[in-house]
Amino acid sequence: MQLYDLNLSGNCYKVRLFLSLIGQQAELTTVNLHAGEHQQADFLAINPRGQVPALVDGELHLGDSQAILVYLARRYANDAWYPQDAVQQGRIAGWLSFAANEVQHGPGSARLGKLFGVPIDQLAVQKKATATLQLLDTQLGNHTWLAQGSQPSIADIAVYPYVALAGDGGIDLAPYAQLNAWFARIRALPGYIDMPGL
C-alpha cells in the first residue's frame, strides 16, 4: 500500500493516524505541492483531482481522506471503526461530510491563511470556525464519541485533525472544555501518532 502524502497536511495526517490506530503500514511518498508535483501527469494518473492524500492499494487508486478512511476501515479494521449498522453508518456519513465542509472551510481555512499565507477572508473563516467548534463542543457534551457509539469511529478521525490544529489558524481552543476532553480521549488511543502543530 502506498500513501501519497504531505507531512503538514491535516488531510494526509488523518490517513496516517488511522493507519497507525489499526496497525497497518503504508509506504509514504511525499508530494511537493510547492513545486507543483500534484499537477504533474504521473500524479494526476493516481489522483485526477491533483490532491493529497491519495492511496494506492493493488489496483485501487483512491483520493479524498474521507473516502480513504471508509476504504481502510472496511478492508482492514475491525467493525467498530465503521459499523455495519445503518443508523451508525448514516451518522458517520454526516460527520465525514462535516469534516470535508464545515471543518475544512472553518478551522482548516483559517490555518491555510495564517500558516501558509493563502489569501483568505480571515474574518469570515474565523466566524465559520467558531460556529463549527461550538457545535462540536455541544455534541461532545452529550456524547463520548461523535457518532454516538460506545467506541471511536472514523467520524472522530476525520474531524479531529483540523479541529485540533485550529491554534495554527489563530483560534484559541482553551474555551472548549468538551473538545479538549475529546482530544485527550483520542490521544490516549493505542497507536495514536502526532503531526507538527499538535
Query: Interface residues with ligand GSH (CB under 6 A)?
Result: 9, 11, 33, 38, 50-53, 64-66, 100
Compare residues 21 and 52 and give the one whose CB is closer to ligand GSH: 52
- Residue 178 CB, shortest distance to ligand GSH, in Å, is 24
- Residue 99 CB, shortest distance to ligand GSH, in Å, is 7
- Residue 19 CB, shortest distance to ligand GSH, in Å, is 15
Rounded to a whole number of angstroms, the CA Rg of the chain reads: 16
Q: Which three cell numbers stand for residue 112?
A: 491555510
- Residue 39 CB, shortest distance to ligand GSH, in Å, is 7
Residue number closest to ligand GSH, CB atom:
51
Identify each DSSP E strand in 19-58 by its residue range. 27-30, 54-57
Report DSSP state, residue 4. E
Distances 79 to 70, 73, 75 between C-alpha atoms, Å: 11, 8, 10
Compare residues 53 and 152 and give the one whose CB is closer to ligand GSH: 53
For residue 145, what are the β-bridge partners? none
